[in-house]
Copies of this chain bind each other. A is one copy, B any other.
Amino acid sequence: MPPTKTNLSDAAAGLPEHWSPRVLGDVSGHEVKVSKLLGEFVWHHHDDADEMFLVLRGELLLKFRDGDVTLSPGEMLIVPAGVDHLPVAEEEVVTLVFEKAGVDKLGDKAGSVPRFA
């Protein structure tokens, strides 16, 4: 059998809750994930991992200490390792995330935010 394809809309539709990414596959030790976002996350950074967001649906506001960026569908941004960021979704957003396998979504705040445990 050839490799299986994934329809991103279908994968997003199957997500049970917000801020709980589903891993769609592994690319040589990096993970491709789809995530549904709603509301405000938590300021955090990832010490050792860059993180790429590619918005599929909705408008994702990414706050940084030195300015904000809004991503619309078809737009991507790479958050460099060590850079504080705060994702905010006023209305529901579906995003693809690409980063090294095993990165905690809360980065330096891992384990400290019970509602996102």
Q: Does A15 contact B (CB under 8 A)?
A: no
Contacting pair B52 A25 (CB below 8 A): yes
Residues of B within 8 A of A30 (CB): 27-28, 30, 98
**Per a CB cutoff under 8 Å, which of B3, B28, B81 touches A77?**
B3
Write the residues of chain A forming the contact surface with B, with a CB cutoff of 8 angstroms: 1-9, 24-28, 30, 32, 48-52, 54, 56, 62, 64, 66-69, 71, 74-81, 83, 96, 98-100
Expressed in whole angstroms, the minimum distance between the Cβ of A32 and any Cβ of chain B is 6
Copies of this chain, whole number: 2
Known: A6-B76, A28-B30, A30-B30. 7 other contacts (CB 8 A): A2-B62, A2-B66, A7-B75, A8-B54, A8-B75, A27-B78, A27-B100
Expressed in whole angstroms, the minimum distance between the Cβ of A11 and any Cβ of chain B is 9
Contacting pair B27 A68 (CB below 8 A): no
